[in-house]
């Protein structure tokens, strides 16, 4: 799980063009949206693309994204479960 | 003559100038990204959203940043800031990126953040978001820089008291060829209020042509 | 003295009609143009409904009196047909010329041709004429050539508010005394490029769009072209021609919030509408009907709904979105909907907001759900809000 979390951090940084951020800056349990990284609705859609492109997981309704993309850890858990 | 060009930036491959003075030179760049990124870092704005923008928006953003630092916002209402820009290639540079991502059925992953930039006026949106300008704006397309059309549009906004100040000019980018003239136009009464100010060039199509040359 | 601007000609080609009479008929019979794609070969043809113009490119070439070797894109053809209808409708082919401009809006330009041949360009030289027509301004130049306009030509590209901005600029040029007449509007053909793009943003509804409905789930993309002939009141006197309406107010504002989303409280929409009302010199209570931007997305409908309530207070006019009729015509929406708004003045109707079953809880007003006939409509407002936070509102008055 920890390996997946580290991998995800790098992938998120790349997919979302977060140039100034390094994996060490991201806490596995911190909220991705709102405070912290300050991601927005377009970033949420990009994360959906990331899941499909890198892990073959399709999310049809963007509203489901809220729970899955709450933090890096919840993303990792979703991936492991599917 | 009631309006003045108080600042302008000119960006061409290898060079960035403000008010005719060189701000940055790099003849050895290969890609636009290589050219603009070090300069942006040097500006030290603390604005990470920059990195999410497409090339055209980055270009317009930087050009606007350089002239807007001239503005004393105490004198103006941000709801009355005009932005009227034009170019030849629209958002074609980003359009091609999007096009590539949807052309292969087996590798089909269109990026929402790329698609968002397949409109040239998003660049204006980025400038507005950064500086919180909520006035009137427009984006025009023409084959080459036409000062008369921009001048007429902006002048009309001033004549009918729609705006207090205005950003106008040409922001064109296609792959690694780019060409920008960004002009800040302010009313004379403000510029002559005794403060240390920038240029006082008359706002006219002729002056715009001169600056573009 | 500011010159008054009036409308003397109308041309429109969309999924609900090949010309103005067919369009009027569709509105009067509440007939929507939304259905399945027949002409565009898109990956998503079975997944989403669209409001496609019911004509193939060959049929469009025919209607435009052009030959297949011309290299005209679907976009240019739509524009040429509608612009010429407006030009002829205004009788401009029969009266002496004054200073005349063409202001055309488009985003996709010649993309419908290019995307088909994109993969081929490097190895196949037989379709190179399409590379040249890719640029936005090309369709504008073609319309200008067709109508022989050369005093002033420009292309506007500000997403979904483009055509409304074309009307706004045209009005300004006339009020300012720079031009006497302007053919203004927009054209947009459906392309895989923007179908796939909007799908990537996950804002295409799987059923025909439902603006202001609590269950709305996105837009339905449409296509077409729509142009209006604007003239100064003086120029309109020539030739004993009919005047259909006055463009009495206009407003544009930048949202400064996000690349594609509106501020949740609709500030940009509010500013644009407020400015239009101010320029018109009217009180908000004088507005009888609002043709809303009403796309059917979560975001727009809330923002626009709240902005309407904020501006109109207790005097909210009748409201409907006609996008369930025409789909979202993107760069042509502003002028197409201006035309539908003007029909309210000339035909004494209010078009319904089709597909609305349960009004969203966030707004107090209920949009009109059935066509209203035999009603005096004196002043209408038409809203067009674009990506990039570009918001435009236009006001038309009955003559």
* CB-CB neighbours of C177 under 10 Å: 13
The whole-number pLDDT of residue B202 equals 93
The three-state secondary structure class of C86 is helix
Sign of CA dihedral C270, C272, C277, C278: positive
Q: Is B87 on the interface with C (CB under 8 A)?
A: no
Cβ separation C200–A41 shorter than 8 A: no
A32 vs C217, residue with greater confidence: C217
How many residues comprise chain C? Answer: 399
- Alpha helix (H) residue ranges in chain B: 32-43, 55-68, 92-102, 112-115, 122-131, 147-159, 188-191, 205-212
For residue C133, what pLDDT is reported? 46
Chain A nearest CA to C217, separation (Å): 10
Cα distances (angstroms) measured from residue B144 to each of B41, B169, B182, B209, C149:
31, 12, 15, 12, 19
Percent of chain A predicted with pLDDT > 70: 99
Mean pLDDT of B131-145: 92
Residue B27: domain span: 3-212
- The top-scoring range by mean pLDDT among B43-57, C133-147, C244-258, C336-350 is C336-350
3-state helix, strand, coil in chain A (%, to 5): 60, 0, 40
8 Å CB contact of C202 and A48: yes
| CB-count burial class (<10 Å; 0-12, 13-18, 19+) for C309 | middle
DSSP reduced 3-state for C22 = helix
Q: What is the pLDDT of residue C331?
A: 95
Closest CA to C325 of C78, C86, C51, C3: C51
pLDDT of amino acid C264: 79
Q: Are C277 and C287 in contact (CB under 8 A)?
A: yes
Report the run of H or E that residue C57 belongs to, with start and end: helix C57-63
Q: Which of these ranges, A41-50, C102-111, C362-371, has the smallest mean pLDDT?
A: C102-111
Could you tell me how many CB contacts below 8 A there are between chain A and chain B?
Answer: 27
Q: What is C353-374 written as a DSSP string?
A: -TT--SB-TT-S-----S-EES
3-class state of residue A37 by DSSP: coil
Looking at residue B100, its pLDDT comes to 86
Q: Which residues of B touch C193 (CB under 8 A)?
A: 95, 98-99, 102, 118
Strands C245-254 and C318-320: unpaired
How do the domains of chain C map onto residue ranges?
5-240, 252-397
Q: Are B107 and B94 in contact (CB under 8 A)?
A: no
> For C257-267, what is the mean pLDDT?
76
Q: Which residue does chain A place closest to B48, by CA atoms?
A: A20
Q: What is the pLDDT of residue C261?
A: 72
What's the whole-number mean pLDDT along residues C100-106? 95
Rounded-to-integer distance, Cα C47 and Cα C134, Å? 28
pLDDT tens by residue, C354-394:
999 999 999 999 999 999 999 999 999 999 987 667 899 99
Q: Please, which pLDDT band fits residue A38 given cuts at 50, 70 and 90?
A: confident
Q: For helices C267-280 and C298-312, give the axis angle rounded to 10 degrees.
A: 40
Ordered alpha helix ranges (H), B74-200: 92-102, 112-115, 122-131, 147-159, 188-191
DSSP assignments along C158-209, one per residue? -GGGHHHHHHHHHHHHHHTTS-SEEEEEEEE---HHHHHHHHHTT-B-SSS-
- Residue-level pLDDT at B70: 87
Residue C182: strand pairing partners: C101, C230
Cα–Cα distance for residue pair C267/C322, rounded to 1 Å: 22
End-to-end CA distance of chain B: 23
What percent of chain B has pLDDT above 70?
A: 95
Give me the percent of chain B exceeding a pLDDT of 90: 73
Sequence-separated (6 or more) residues with CB below 8 Å from residue C338 = C163, C164, C167, C226, C228, C382, C394, C396
CA nearest neighbour of C333 among C291, C379, C290, C370: C291
pLDDT 10s digits, C180-189: 999 999 999 9
DSSP at C337: H
Lowest mean pLDDT among C65-69, C83-87, C291-295: C65-69
Q: In a 10 Å sphere around its CB, with 0-12 CB exposed, 13-18 middle and 19+ buried, how is residue B55 labelled? A: buried
Q: What is the pLDDT of residue B42?
A: 95
**Per-residue confidence (pLDDT) for residue C115, from 0 to 100:** 57
Q: How many domains does chain B have?
A: 1
Task: Return the closest-CA partner of residue C204 out of C83, C327, C334.
Answer: C327
The model's confidence at residue C121, banded by pLDDT at 50, 70 and 90, is very low
Average pLDDT over residues B89-102: 90
User: Which residue reads 């023409």 in tokens?
Assistant: B142
Residue B184 confidence (pLDDT): 97
Residue C239: CB atoms within 10 A of its CB come to: 13
Closest alpha carbon to C101 in C147, C140, C148, C153: C153
pLDDT-derived band at C159 (thresholds 50, 70, 90) equals confident
CATH of C252-397 among 3.30.360.10, 3.10.270.10, 3.40.640.10, 3.40.47.10: 3.40.47.10
- Cα separation, B153 vs C113, in Å, equals 32
C357 lies within 8 A of chain A by CB: no
- Residue A20's pLDDT band (boundaries 50, 70, 90)? confident
Q: Which of C388, C391, C394 to mutate to test the interface with B (most CBs of B within 10 A)?
A: C388
Residue B125 belongs to a domain with what CATH number?
3.40.47.10
Q: How far apart are CA C109 and CA C140, in angstroms?
A: 9
Mean pLDDT of C280-294: 97
Residue A13's pLDDT is what? Answer: 93
At residue C23, the pLDDT reads 96
Tell me which of B101 and C8 has the higher pLDDT: C8
Distance of alpha carbon C238 from alpha carbon C222, whole angstroms: 36
CA distance C224 to chain B (A): 19
Q: Under 8 Å CB-to-CB from A36, ≥6 apart: which residues?
A: A27, A30
High-pLDDT (> 90) share of chain C, %: 77
**Of the ranges A3-7, B97-101, B103-107, B160-164, which one carries the lowest mean pLDDT score?**
B103-107
User: Which range has the worst mean pLDDT, B3-7, B105-109, C187-191, C256-260?
Assistant: C256-260
Mutant choice from C106, C256, C392, C394 vs B, greatest count of B C-beta within 10 A = C256
Active site residues of C: 160, 293, 328
Higher-confidence position of B197 and C12: C12
CA angle B132, B135, B137 (to 5 degrees): 105
Of the candidates C350, C358, C377, the residue with the CA atom closest to the CA atom of residue C291: C350
Per CATH, which fold does C5-240 belong to? Peroxisomal Thiolase; Chain A, domain 1 (3.40.47)
Q: Is C125 a residue whose pLDDT tops 80?
A: no
The DSSP output letter for C7 is: E
C5-240 against C252-397: fold identical? yes
Averaged confidence pLDDT in chain C: 91
């Amino acid at each position: 799980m920890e390996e997946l979390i580290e991998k995800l951090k790098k992938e998120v940084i790349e997919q979302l063009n977060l140039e100034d951020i390094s994996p060490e800056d991201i806490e596995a349990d911190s909220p991705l949206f709102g405070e912290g990284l300050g991601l927005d609705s377009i970033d949420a859609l990009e994360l959906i693309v990331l899941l499909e492109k890198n892990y073959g997981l399709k999310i049809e309704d963007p509203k489901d994204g809220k729970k899955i993309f709450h933090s890096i850890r919840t993303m990792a858990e979703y991936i492991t479960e599917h | 003559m009631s309006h003045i060009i108080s600042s302008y930036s000119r960006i061409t491959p290898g060079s960035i100038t403000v008010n005719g003075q060189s701000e940055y030179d790099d003849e050895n760049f290969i890609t636009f990204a290589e050219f603009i990124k070090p300069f942006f870092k040097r500006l030290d704005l603390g604005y990470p959203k920059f990195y999410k923008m497409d090339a055209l928006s980055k270009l317009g953003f930087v050009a606007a940043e350089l002239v807007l630092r001239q503005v004393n916002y105490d004198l103006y209402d941000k709801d009355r800031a005009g932005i009227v820009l034009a170019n030849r290639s629209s958002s074609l540079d980003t359009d091609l990126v999007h096009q590539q991502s949807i052309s292969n059925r087996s590798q089909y992953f269109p990026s929402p953040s790329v698609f968002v930039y397949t409109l040239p006026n998003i660049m204006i949106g980025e400038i507005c978001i950064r500086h919180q300008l909520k006035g009137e704006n427009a984006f025009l397309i023409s084959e080459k820089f036409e000062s008369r059309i921009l001048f007429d549009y902006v002048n009309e906004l001033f004549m009918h008291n729609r705006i207090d100040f205005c950003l106008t000019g040409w922001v064109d980018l296609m792959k690694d060829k780019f060409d920008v003239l960004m002009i800040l136009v302010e009313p004379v009464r403000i510029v002559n209020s005794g403060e240390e100010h920038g240029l006082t060039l008359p706002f006219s199509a002729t002056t715009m042509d001169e600056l573009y040359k | 003295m500011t010159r008054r601007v009036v409308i003397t000609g109308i041309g429109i080609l969309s999924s609900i009609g090949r010309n103005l009479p067919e369009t009027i008929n569709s509105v009067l019979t509440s007939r929507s143009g939304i259905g399945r794609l027949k002409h565009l070969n898109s990956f998503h043809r079975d997944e989403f409904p669209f409001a496609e113009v019911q004509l193939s490119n060959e049929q469009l070439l025919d209607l435009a009196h052009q030959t297949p070797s011309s290299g005209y894109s679907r976009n240019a053809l739509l524009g040429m047909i509608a612009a010429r209808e407006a030009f002829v409708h205004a009788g401009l082919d029969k009266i002496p010329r004054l200073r005349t401009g063409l202001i055309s809006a488009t985003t996709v330009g010649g993309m419908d041709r290019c995307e088909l041949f994109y993969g081929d360009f490097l190895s196949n030289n037989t379709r190179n004429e399409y590379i040249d027509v890719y640029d936005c301004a090309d369709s504008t130049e073609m319309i200008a050539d067709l109508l022989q306009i050369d005093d002033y030509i420009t292309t506007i590209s500000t997403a979904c508010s483009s055509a409304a901005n074309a009307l706004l600029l045209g009005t300004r040029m006339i009020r300012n005394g720079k031009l006497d007449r302007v053919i203004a509007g927009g054209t947009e053909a459906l392309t895989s490029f923007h179908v796939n793009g909007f799908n990537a943003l996950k804002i295409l509804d799987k059923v025909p769009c439902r603006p202001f409905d609590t269950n709305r789930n996105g837009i339905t993309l449409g296509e077409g072209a729509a142009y209006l002939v604007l003239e100064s009141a003086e120029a309109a006197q020539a030739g004993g021609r009919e005047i259909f309406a006055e463009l009495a107010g206009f407003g544009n504002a930048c949202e400064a919030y996000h690349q594609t989303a509106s501020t949740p409280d609709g500030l940009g929409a509010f500013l644009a509408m407020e400015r239009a009302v101010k320029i018109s010199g009217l009180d908000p209570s004088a507005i009888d009907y609002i043709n809303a931007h009403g796309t059917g997305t979560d975001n727009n409908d809330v923002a626009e709904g709240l902005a309407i309530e904020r501006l109109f207070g207790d005097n909210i006019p009748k409201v409907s979105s006609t996008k369930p009729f025409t789909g979202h015509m993107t760069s042509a929406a502003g002028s197409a909907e201006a035309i539908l708004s003007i029909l309210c003045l000339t035909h004494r109707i209010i078009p319904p907001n089709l597909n609305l079953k349960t009004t969203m809880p966030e707004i107090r007003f209920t949009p009109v759900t059935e066509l209203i006939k035999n009603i005096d409509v004196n002043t209408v407002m038409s809203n067009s809000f674009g990506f990039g936070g570009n918001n435009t509102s236009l006001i038309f008055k009955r003559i």
